[in-house]
Amino acid sequence: MHRKPVLLVIAHGSRDPRHAATVHALVRRVRSRRPGLRVETGFLDFNLPSVQGVLESLAAEGVQDVVALPLLLTRAFHAKADIPAVLRDAPPRLRIRQAEVLGPSPLLLRALERRLYETGLTPAEKSSTGIVLASAGSSDPEAIAVIEDLARAWWHTGWRAVRPAFASAALPRTEDAVRELRALGCARVAVAPYVLAPGFLPDRIARGAAEADVLADVLGPAPEVARVLLERYDAALTPALVTVGA
């Protein structure tokens, strides 16, 4: 019987227990959307099981095909270096395809809006509300450009203004973007964390949102995020993608 490749979701990991709990909640939602698909979770650091440990366990079970999906929003260092390095050390019997990162995707914009509306904002307030699109930040110019492009795309959906901000490695910071939107005359300022799970940098974003009117939750297990994961899994099964370790 033909078996679908196992989906291995690769998360960064964190000392903050909320991080792993949120990752597991997202993975449960992915499983619920596609019951016939086996979905495993591995962490690069801080949490167990490790990616290497999951890969070794799968190989010992006789699994042959795996789609490794980075639980990342941009193609920065972890997607370009860390994860490929871990996959290259996988047991040789495994055929592993590395899927693309989650962003950019229109579904992620919908997830961001979901989180904002959960705070009590309404679509009728879009034209008078300024948004800070607050990401973790990166030293990778490609990753920064993706966030800036996303902010421009989101602005075109009707918000008064959308400004990108970064919790590390790049500027502006969340608090500076909040003040800029105040100076612009926005009736309300909302901070939308473009992060998947709680942790050190999301907490920094929250502190930077102290002068905002609204702080949305992290994306977490939003249904749109689960849909993106499955889209990336399906796309990874196309022949055009490079197989790692085959």
* Mean pLDDT within 100-128: 97
The mean of the pLDDT values for the chain is 94
* Mean pLDDT within 191-212: 98
Higher pLDDT, 57 or 1: 57
Q: Is the pLDDT assigned to residue 246 strictly greater than 50?
A: no
Degrees, nearest 5: CA angle 147-220-127: 55
Q: Is the pLDDT assigned to residue 2 strictly greater than 90?
A: no
* Mean pLDDT within 85-93: 96
Q: Is the pLDDT assigned to residue 163 strictly greater than 90?
A: yes
Which segments of the chain are extended strands (E)? 6-11, 39-43, 65-70, 95-98, 129-135, 161-166, 188-194, 214-215, 243-244
Supply the pLDDT for residue 78: 74
pLDDT band at 232 (very low <50, low <70, confident <90, very high): very high
Q: pTM (2 decimals)?
A: 0.94
d(CA 86, CA 98): 11
CB 76 within 8 A of CB 153: no
Q: For the beta carbon of residue 138, count every other beta carbon within 10 angstroms.
A: 21
DSSP character at residue 158: T
d(CA 193, CA 191): 6
Tens-place pLDDT, residues 18-65: 999 999 999 999 999 999 999 999 999 999 999 999 999 999 999 999
